[in-house]
Structure 1
Amino acid sequence: MIEANLPILLIVIPMVTAPLCVLAGRGRTAYLLALLASIAVFITAVAMVAKVNATGVIHYEIGGWAPPYGIEYVVDRLSSFVMLFVSALGAIVLLYAPASVNQEILPSKHYLFYATYLLCLTGLLGMCVTGDLFNVFVFLEISSLSSYALISLGRTRRAPLAALQYLIVGSIGATFILIGIGLLYQMTGTLNMADIAARVNTDHGPRTVSVAFAFLTVGLCVKMAVFPLHTWLPGAYTYAPSVVTAFIAATATKVSVYAFVRLVFGIITPEFAFGVLPLDTALMVFSLIGIFVASTAAIFQDDVKRLLAYSSVAQIGYMLLGISMANADGLSAGIVHMFNHALIKGGLFMVVGCFVLRLGSSRLSDWAGAAKTMPWTSLAWAIGGLGLIGVPLTAGFISKWLLLTSAMQNNYWPVAVLMLMSSLLAVVYVWRVVETLYFGEPSTNVAQAAESPRSMLIPTYVVITAVVVFGVWTQYSAGLASSAALDLLGGTP
C-alpha cells in the first residue's frame, strides 16, 4: 500500500508537517518535526529511484482520476534523479541548521522558519513529480513564495529588501509562465504534459505556439537566474540567512532548469525549439556571455556570499550550454552539472555559514588568516573550490569534461576554447578566498575564533566529500544523467 502511494507521500509528508511546526511553536519540537519529515522524504525518494530502476516509469493518478481529466504524477529517471538530490540536500541542510539558525534568525521566528522550509521543499519536489503543467506553476509558486519568506528572515535590514526585489522579479517571471500555460491550454484543451505534447502542432501550427513557448522560456529563465535576468539572485543569496542560502542555492535554480528541460524536450520538441526557432543559438550566446560576465563580477566581490551568487549565475550558463547542444552528450552534461553544482554550491555555502557563525561576517576581508584557527572549515572551502573550478577527481570536472567533449564533437571549437578560458576566471575568485584564509594576517577576532562546531562541520563534510566521491565514482551521476538524456531524446543520441 505504501509503495503504491510513494509519489503522493513525497508531497504530503512535508506539506502536512509544515503546519504542525507552526502548532508546535517555540522550542525544539518544530525542528525535530522538520528534520524527521525531511529524512522521511529522502527515504521516499530513494525508494522511488529504486522502483523506477527496477520497473520503469511510475504513473500515479491523484484520486483515481485518469489523465487528462485528473492530475497525474509521473516519475521517470530524470525526475527521480532530481528529486533524490533535492531531498538529500534538504535533509543534510536541516541537520546542519540549528547552530546557524540560532545565531542568524530571531528565536521567536524559528518555528516559522522550519515550517516555511518544509513548504519550500514541498514546492521543489512537487515540480519534479507532477505531470500536469498547471501543477508545475502551482508548485513553483509554493517554492517561490516560501523562498521570499525565508530570505526576509535575515537579521539585516537589507534582507526584506532583497526578498522584495526577488518577489517583484519572480512575480513577473511567474506571470509570463502562467500566460504561456494559458495559451497552450487554449490550443490543446488539456493541462496534462503528455497530452499537450501529443496535441500541440509544432510543425505548421499557429503562431500562438511560438508565443506560448516564448512566454514560458522567459519566465523560466527568470526563475533560473539566467543572465541578464539574474538581478534578483545576488541580493537574495547575500542577505538571506546562511542556512537559507545553502538550501536555495543548491536546489531552487536546478529544479527550474529541470522544468525548462521538461518544456523543451517533453512538450515543445527540440526540433521546434532548435530547428524552427533559433533557441539553441540564443541559449549558447547568452550562456557564454553570462559565464564571463558573472565570473568576472565574482572576482571583484568582497562578500563571499555575493561572490558565490555570481558564480551560480555562471554555472547556470554551463547547464544551459549543454542543453543548447540538443544532443545526448550535451544534454547529459547539462543534467549531471545540475547534480554536481548542487553538491558543490550547497557545500560551499555551508562553509560560509560556518565562518559567519564564528567570525560574524561573510566579508572576505574579515576572514584573513582564518585557516590558522579554523583549519577544517578552511580545508572544506579548498576542496569545494577545486570542484567549482573543475579540477580532476572532483564532481565539477566530470560535467565540464562532458560538456567540453560534446562541444568538440559538434565542432563548436570556439565554445570549447571559451569554456576553458572561463574556468581560469573561476580559479581567480576561488584562489582569492584560499589566499586570504591561508596567507592573510589574522585580526584579533580571527585569532580568538574557535573551529566550527561538529554539528555543522559533519554535514558540511558529508556534502564536500560527495564532491570528491562523485568525481571518482561517476556510475550513478553521469550514468543516470546519460540514461535520462537518451530517454528525453527518444533513445537516439
Structure 2
Amino acid sequence: MIEQFLVQMPALVIVLPLLAAPLCVLLHRAAPAWFVYLITTWACLGIAFLLFVQVRIGGPISYAMGGWPPPFGIELRLDALNTVILLLVTGIAAISAIYAKASVAAEISRERAYLFYAAMLLCFCGLAGITVTGDAFNLFVFLEISSLSSYSLIAMGAKRRALLSAFQYLIMGTIGGTFLLIGIGFLYMMTGSLNMADIAERLPAVADTRTVEAGLAFIVVGASLKFALFPLHVWLPNAYTYAPSSVSAFIAATATKVALYALMRFLFTVFGAAYAFGELPLGEVLLVLSVVAMLSGSLAAIFQTDVKRLLAWSSIAQIGYIVMGFALASTAGITASVVHMVNHGIIKGALFMAAGALFWRMRTISLNDIAGLGKDMPLTSAAFVVAGLSLIGVPATGGFISKWVLLEAVMEPGHYGLAVAILVSSLLALIYIGRVVEALYFREAPEGRSVQGEAPASMLIATWTLVLANIALGLYATPLVGAAESAATALLGGGA
C-alpha cells in the first residue's frame, strides 16, 4: 500500500487539487470549502517533500500517465530543479491556506467564498502541473488552468478596479499563452514530438532552421509575458494591487516563479544552453532587459503611495534579478536564480500577507492611512520590517544570500556593470521599504482613528511562518544553495 502510494506521488500532487476544486463547489459553504483547501494543500506539501527527498537520494523520477511510456504518452518528470520549485509552490499554498480563512471572510462575500476556494485550488493545480510535467503541450494546458483561475480570483477583489485589472491580465495573459503555444507548435512541426526530453534529442538535427529559431522567440516572449519581464509587465501592478490579499500573496510568491521555471526548462532542457545562449544572442538581450527591470521597477516603487502597488513594482524589479542569473548561462548564475526564486517567493509572500493584515484592520493600505500603526499593530508591522530588510538584502536574511550568490555569479566572468546595477537596485529598495517603515513608526496617526489591536492570529501565524523561514534560510543557506547547485548542474548537462 505504501509502495503504491509512493509510486503515484507525482500524479497525486496534480490530481488532489483537481478533485478538491469541484468538491468545494459541491459543499457550497465557506467553512467546509476552506477545510478542503487546507487539507489538500498540506497533503500536497507532504508529497512534494517526499518527492524532493526521493530525487535527492535516487535521481530523477519519470512517471508515465496511464501506463503509456514516453514519448508517446504524457510524462511527469521530477528532477533536481522542479522539486525545489514544487516545494516552494506547495509550501506557499499550505501557508496561504492558514492565512486565507480570516482574510477571505473579510474581503469575499460569504456566498462566493466556496467558489473562491475552488478557484484557488485550480490555480494551485495548474502551477503544480506546470512544475512537474515533462510534456510541452501539457505545460501550456496547465499554464492556462492557472491563468484562467487567476483571472477570476483577481476579479473577486473588493474594488471595481479589480474587474478592469483582471480583464487587462486576461488580455495580456492570452497573448502570452498564444505566443507560447505557437512556439510549441513550431517545435512539434520540426520534431514530431511534444515530450520535452524527446524534443531535446531530435532538435539538434533541425536547429539551424528558421522555424526552430522562431519557436524559441515565441516561447521566450510568451513566457516573459507570463512572468512580467520588462517591457511586458504592464498587467502586474494592477493585478497584485486590486486582487484579494490572500490572492496577491499566493500569486506574487508562486505564479511568476513557475513561469520563470517554465522558460528555464525550455531554454536549458529543450534548446540547450549552447544553442540558446551560444549560437543566438539571447543572453545579451535578457541581461539588458533584466537590468532595466531591476532599476525601473525599483524607481517606480519609490513613488507609490499604495503599499500593495509598491510591492508589485518591487516584484518587477526582483524578476530582473532572477532573469539576470540564468541569462549568464553558467552554473553560478543558474544557482543564483534558483536561490532567489525560492527566497523571493517567501519574502514577497510574507510582505503581501503583512500588507493584507494591515488592510484587514484598516480597510485601506495607503501610506497615509497606515501612519502610526507600528504601535497599534506591532507584530504585523515587525513582520513587514523584517521581510523588507530581507528584500533589501540585509545579512542574516534569505535576501542577503540571494544577492551574495548573484554578485558572485556576475563577478566571476567580470560583469562589473551588472554588479553595480544589483547594488543600485538594492539601495533603491532601501528607499521604498524605508517609506513604509517611516509611515508605520515615525508618523503620527490620523486624528480620530481607533485601532482595535492586531490582525487575527491565523493571519499572523502564516505571516510570521514565512518571515522565520526566510531568516532560517539566511542563517543556514547550505541546503538551499546545494539543491540549487544540483539543479544548475543538471540543467547544463552535468547530471541529475
Specify the TM-score bucket, using the shorter chain as the normaliser.
over 0.9
- Match in the other structure for 1:490: 493
Structure 2 residue identity aligned to 1:398: I
What is the CA-CA distance between 1:446 and the residue it aligns to? 4.7
Dislocated runs of 4+, deviation >6 Å: none
Summarize the Cα distance change of 1:363–1:198 in structure 2 as closer, same or farther, 3 Å threshold: same
How big is the shift at 1:447? 4.2
| Residue 411 of structure 2, aligned match among 389, 408, 413 | 408
Give the equivalent residue in structure 1 for 2:39: 36
Name the CA shift for 1:202/1:257 in 2 (closer, same or farther; >3 Å).
farther
Asked whether the 8 Å contact 1:202–1:272 carries over to 2, the reply is no
Q: Identify the residue that residue 170 of structure 2 maps to in structure 1.
A: 167
Aligned 8 A contact 2:24 2:115 in 1: yes
Query: Are 1:91 and 2:73 an aligned pair?
Result: no
CA offset at residue 364 of structure 1?
1.3
Deviations 1:179-231 (A, max 9, x none): 00111000000000000000012775211111000000000000010011000
Tell me the distance in 1 between the aligned counterparts of 2:99 and 2:50: 24
**Following superposition of structure 1 onto structure 2, how do residues 340-351 of structure 1 map, counting pairs within 5 Å?**
340-351=343-354
Aligned counterpart for 1:376 among listed residues 369, 374, 379 = 379
Question: Given the alignment of the two structures, is residue 75 of structure 1 paired with residue 78 of structure 2, yes or no?
Answer: yes
| CA distance in structure 2 between the partners assigned to 1:268 and 1:196 by the alignment | 8
**Structure 1 residues 480 and 447: alpha-carbon distance in aligned structure 2, compared to 1, 3 A threshold:** same
Relative to structure 1, the CA distance from residue 353 to residue 202 in structure 2 (aligned partners, 3 Å threshold; closer, same or farther) is farther
Give the partner amino acid of 1:450. Answer: G
Larger mean CA deviation between 329-338 and 198-207 belongs to: 198-207
SS in 1 for 2:482: helix
Q: Is the 2:206–2:212 contact (alpha carbons within 8 Å) kept by the matching residues of 1?
A: no
SS of corresponding position for 1:73: strand
Alignment-mate amino acid for residue 75 of structure 1: L
AA in 2 matched with 1:48: L
Matched residues, percent identical?
51
CA distance in structure 1 between the aligned counterparts of 2:369 and 2:23, rounded to whole angstroms:
40
Question: Partner residue of 2:238?
Answer: 235
2:396 — aligned with what? Answer: 393
Q: CA deviation at 1:65?
A: 0.3
Contact 1:60–1:73 (Cα < 8 Å) also in 2: yes
Conserved 8 A contact 2:332-2:405:
yes
Paired position in structure 2 for 1:104: 107
Q: Which amino acid aligns with 1:61?
A: A
Change (3 A) 1:445 1:30: farther
Give the whole-Å Cα distance in 1 for the aligned partners of 2:41 and 2:416: 44
8 Å contact from structure 1 (residues 359, 449) kept in 2: no
Cα distance in structure 2, aligned partners of 1:335 and 1:202: 30
1:432 aligns with 2:435: yes
Aligned to 2:29: 26
Cα deviations across residues 386-431 of structure 1 (Å, max 9, x unaligned)? 0000111100011111111111111001111121111100000000
Pick the aligned partner of 2:298 from 279, 295, 298.
295
How far apart, CA to CA, are the structure 1 residues paired with 2:91 and 2:204?
39
Q: Which residue of 2 aligns with 1:332?
A: 335
Give the counterpart letter for 1:14 in structure 2: P
Q: Deviations over 1:293-351 (max 9, x none)?
A: 11000000000000000000000000000011111111100111000000000000000
Q: What SS class does the counterpart of residue 60 from structure 1 fall into? A: strand
* Per-residue Cα deviation, 1:135-179 (whole angstroms, up to 9, x for no partner): 100000000001001000012111111000000000000000010
* Pair 1:103–1:3, CA change in 2 (3 A): same
2:207–2:213 Cα contact (<8 Å) kept: no
Q: Which residue of 2 aligns with 1:317?
A: 320
Separation in structure 2 between the aligned mates of residue 448 and residue 268 of structure 1, nearest angstrom: 56
1:357 maps to which residue?
Answer: 360
Unpaired runs of 5+ residues, structure 2, are none
Match of 2:170, SS? Answer: helix
Q: Does structure 1 residue 185 correspond to structure 2 residue 185?
A: no
The equivalent of 1:476 in structure 2 is 479
- 8 Å contact from structure 1 (residues 367, 446) kept in 2: no
Q: Which amino acid aligns with 1:236?
A: A
The 1:402/1:445 distance shift into structure 2, 3 A limit, reads farther
Q: Which of 225, 248, 253 does residue 251 from structure 2 map onto?
A: 248
RMSD: 1.1
3-state SS, counterpart of residue 140 of structure 2? helix
Alignment gaps of 5+ in structure 1: none
CA contact (8 A) 1:370 1:446 kept: no
Query: Does structure 2 conserve the Cα–Cα contact (< 8 Å) formed by 1:368 and 1:446?
Result: no
Note if contact 1:179-1:212 (Cα within 8 Å) is conserved in structure 2: yes
Q: CA deviation at 1:56?
A: 1.1
Shift of 1:491: 2.0
- How far off its partner does 1:449 sit? 3.6
Contact 2:361 2:451 in 1 (8 A): no
Q: Which residue of 1 aligns with 2:50?
A: 47
CA deviation string 1:249-307 (max 9, x = no partner): 00000000000110110001111111111111000001001111110000000000000
> Residue 302 of structure 1 contacts residue 363 of structure 1 at CA under 8 Å; is this kept in 2?
yes
* 2:259 aligned partner, one-letter code: S
Separation in 1, partners of 2:476, 2:167 = 42
Query: How many residues are paired up?
Result: 492
Sort the Cα spacing of 1:25 and 1:291 in 2 relative to 1 into closer, same or farther, 3 A: same
The equivalent residue for 2:126 is 123
3-state SS in 2 of match to 1:123: helix
Partner SS for 1:69 = coil
Moved more, 31-40 or 425-434: 31-40
Residues 347-387 of structure 1: CA deviation (Å, up to 9, x unaligned): 00000010000011011110000011001111001100000
